[in-house]
């Protein structure tokens, strides 16, 4: 087996032997879907009504998307309601509005709230920002030796590798005392935007583009530094920075049950180190079912722009969306990405907050025509889906508009999921601290084995 530098090598080849082993695997690994119902398995850790199975308690964040009431026969019913996302009991929409009124950026304030349970005073917020700024630096030659060398095609893998490598630069990497874990979490929170941008610049360089690296400035917010480090001329408008800041706030946490945060809880419960726990959460977020939804929306909208003759004609839009739902167009999945949500029923509060910024940014960038198409696809697509699914309400996911916003900000699609991680690490950190202080048990769910018992067969009789 030869490993070649250009990666066109036998090491990655699917050989006849591998195909034969795959066929062997398929013969003995089928599980009849009916067994899941027979054993009352909560697939995806969800009840039959779609609600998540209760597996823990948290004070960090909460999602409300329905009301539960009992009828005269004491039967439980679920009524859809407008969605609310609480950070430490405070509606995240109020956090965005409160900071906007005072002309300051909100992400650092939200991160402080998630970690410490209270809104910071002016002095506490200033000290917190100074603390984050002091940590926003990588070890000497880290970019050259870890990030720039052999960057993989996916930036999330580059960032995971960098996070795990930072373990080697820590004098107390395995110490899970809360003060040490807090120090590690703050350092990773500070460096996550740096890792994301540097990973992207290294990837660009590997594709033959020019390499430029800008260091973050301590006086700037996370959103401002992200745009400054990304752009060759280091420029950005006030509206661009504030829109990105709002996106970071809205993605900072989403309750303890989302896949990456639950992964963080599970891994943390084993007593492992901070770098491993955050890298595991990153691995979960990378999955297209979790962190990559906005990229799917962007691909779908690009396809719609290409195939819909008249964007302003509702009949044209309806016809093509119907073809998508009939699996006759786009990717054949029959899905209109960004419409509907696993948790929210009537509205996704994050999307409702984002709408105003989407409109303002589209006006600044002269993209009103595309915004009108998005609005049309949202309205018509929801109506078509509700008719097919026999629903009276359907929420629009924040992912429906976030990709469009990122595109208007000049963010390449390769950075969409890494940007998600830049925001979500604040929630991951809060949940890791909570699991270490209040969890106390190794998380170990049960799987029912449905294989028949049998006797060992000697080699000569097989």
- Identify whether 253 is a catalytic site residue: no
Alpha-carbon dihedral of residues 82, 86, 90, 94, nearest 10 degrees?
-60
In terms of average pLDDT, the best of 8-12, 423-427, 437-441 is 423-427
- For 368-375, what is the mean pLDDT? 97
DSSP 90: E
**253, 341, 348, 431: the active-site residue:** 341
Beta pairing partners, 78: 68
Q: Where are the alpha helices (DSSP H) in 207-237?
A: 222-230
- Report pLDDT for 71: 80
Contact status, residue 252 vs residue 110, Cβ threshold 8 Å = yes
Of the pLDDT bands very low, low, confident and very high (cuts 50, 70, 90), residue 433 is very high
Of the pLDDT bands very low, low, confident and very high (cuts 50, 70, 90), residue 9 is low
Of the pLDDT bands very low, low, confident and very high (cuts 50, 70, 90), residue 36 is very high
Cα(305)–Cα(370) distance, integer angstroms:
9
Cα(439)–Cα(433) distance, integer angstroms:
10
Tens-digit pLDDT profile for residues 257-310: 899 999 999 999 999 999 999 999 999 999 988 888 888 999 999 999 999 999
Of the pLDDT bands very low, low, confident and very high (cuts 50, 70, 90), residue 2 is low
Token duo for residue 258: 């989302």
**245, 273, 348, 399: the active-site residue:** 399
- For 353-375, what is the mean pLDDT? 95
- Report pLDDT for 4: 56
73-82, 110-119, 132-141, 213-222: the lowest-pLDDT one:
73-82
- Report pLDDT for 8: 60
Cα(312)–Cα(329) distance, integer angstroms:
20
- For 146-156, what is the mean pLDDT? 88
Among residues 310, 329, 317, the alpha carbon closest in space to that of 376 is found at: 317
Cα(205)–Cα(224) distance, integer angstroms:
23
Provide φ and ψ at 347, rounded to 5°.
-140, 145
- Identify whether 77 is a catalytic site residue: no
Cα(121)–Cα(117) distance, integer angstroms:
13
Cα(186)–Cα(289) distance, integer angstroms:
28
* 228 to 88, 207, 451: CA distances (angstroms): 31, 22, 56
Angle at 164 between CA 142 and CA 429, to 5 degrees: 110
Cα(215)–Cα(235) distance, integer angstroms:
14
Residue 7 has pLDDT above 70, yes or no: no
Residue 3 has pLDDT above 80, yes or no: no
Alpha-carbon dihedral of residues 296, 301, 306, 311, nearest 10 degrees?
170
At 14 the three-state DSSP class reads coil
Contact status, residue 114 vs residue 88, Cβ threshold 8 Å = yes
Tens-digit pLDDT profile for residues 90-104: 999 999 998 877 778
Of the pLDDT bands very low, low, confident and very high (cuts 50, 70, 90), residue 170 is very high
Tens-digit pLDDT profile for residues 209-253: 999 999 999 999 999 999 999 999 999 999 999 999 999 999 999
Please report, rounded to a whole number, the percentage of residues in the chain having pLDDT higher than 70.
98
Contact status, residue 151 vs residue 274, Cβ threshold 8 Å = no
For the chain, the average pLDDT equals 93
- For 380-390, what is the mean pLDDT? 96
Tens-digit pLDDT profile for residues 49-79: 778 899 999 999 999 988 887 887 778 777 8
> What one-character-per-residue DSSP string does 160-202 give?
HHHHHHHGGG-SSTT---HHHHHHHHHHHHHHHHHHHHHHHHH
Cα(85)–Cα(62) distance, integer angstroms:
6
Among residues 340, 155, 365, the alpha carbon closest in space to that of 243 is found at: 365
Provide φ and ψ at 107, rounded to 5°.
-65, -45
């Amino acid at each position: 087996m030869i490993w070649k530098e250009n990666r066109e090598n036998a090491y990655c080849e699917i050989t006849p032997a591998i195909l034969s082993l795959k066929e062997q695997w398929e013969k003995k690994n089928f599980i009849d879907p009916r067994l899941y119902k027979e054993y009352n398995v909560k697939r995806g850790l969800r009840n039959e009504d779609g609600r998540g199975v209760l597996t823990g308690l948290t004070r960090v964040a909460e999602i409300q998307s329905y009301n539960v009431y009992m009828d005269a026969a004491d039967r439980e019913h679920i009524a859809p309601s407008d969605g609310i996302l609480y950070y430490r009991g405070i509606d995240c929409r109020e956090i965005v509005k409160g900071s906007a009124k005072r002309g300051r950026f909100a992400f650092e304030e939200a991160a402080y709230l998630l970690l410490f349970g209270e809104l910071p005073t002016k002095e506490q917020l200033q000290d917190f920002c100074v603390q984050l700024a002091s940590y926003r630096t990588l070890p000497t030659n880290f970019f050259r030796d870890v990030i720039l060398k052999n960057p993989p095609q996916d930036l999330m893998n580059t960032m995971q590798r960098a996070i795990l490598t930072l373990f080697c630069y820590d004098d107390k990497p395995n110490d899970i005392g809360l003060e040490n874990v807090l120090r590690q979490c703050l350092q990773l929170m500070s460096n996550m935007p740096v890792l994301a941008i540097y990973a992207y610049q290294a990837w660009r360089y590997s594709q033959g583009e020019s390499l430029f690296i800008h260091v973050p400035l301590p006086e700037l917010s996370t959103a401002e530094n992200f745009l400054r480090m990304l752009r060759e001329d280091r420029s950005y408008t006030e509206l661009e920075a504030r829109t990105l800041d709002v996106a970071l706030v809205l993605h900072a946490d989403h309750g303890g049950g989302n896949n990456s945060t639950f992964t963080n809880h599970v891994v943390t419960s084993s007593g492992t180190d901070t770098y491993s726990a955050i890298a595991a959460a990153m691995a979960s977020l990378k999955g297209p079912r979790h962190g990559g939804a906005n990229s799917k929306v962007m691909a779908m909208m690009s396809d719609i722009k290409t195939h819909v003759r008249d964007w302003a004609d509702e009949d044209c839009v309806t016809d093509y969306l119907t073809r998508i739902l009939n699996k006759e167009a786009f990717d054949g999945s029959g899905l209109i990405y960004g419409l509907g949500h696993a948790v929210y029923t009537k509205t996704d509060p994050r999307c409702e907050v984002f709408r105003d910024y989407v409109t303002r940014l589209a006006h600044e960038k002269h993209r009103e025509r595309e915004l009108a198409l998005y609005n049309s696809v949202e309205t018509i697509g929801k109506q078509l889906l509700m008719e097919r699914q026999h629903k009276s309400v359907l929420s629009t996911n924040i992912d429906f508009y976030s990709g469009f916003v990122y595109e208007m900000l000049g963010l390449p699609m390769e950075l969409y999921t890494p940007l998600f991680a830049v925001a979500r690490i604040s929630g991951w950190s809060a949940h890791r601290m909570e699991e270490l202080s209040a969890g106390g048990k190794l998380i170990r769910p049960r799987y029912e084995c449905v294989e028949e018992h049998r006797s060992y067969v000697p080699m000569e009789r097989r």
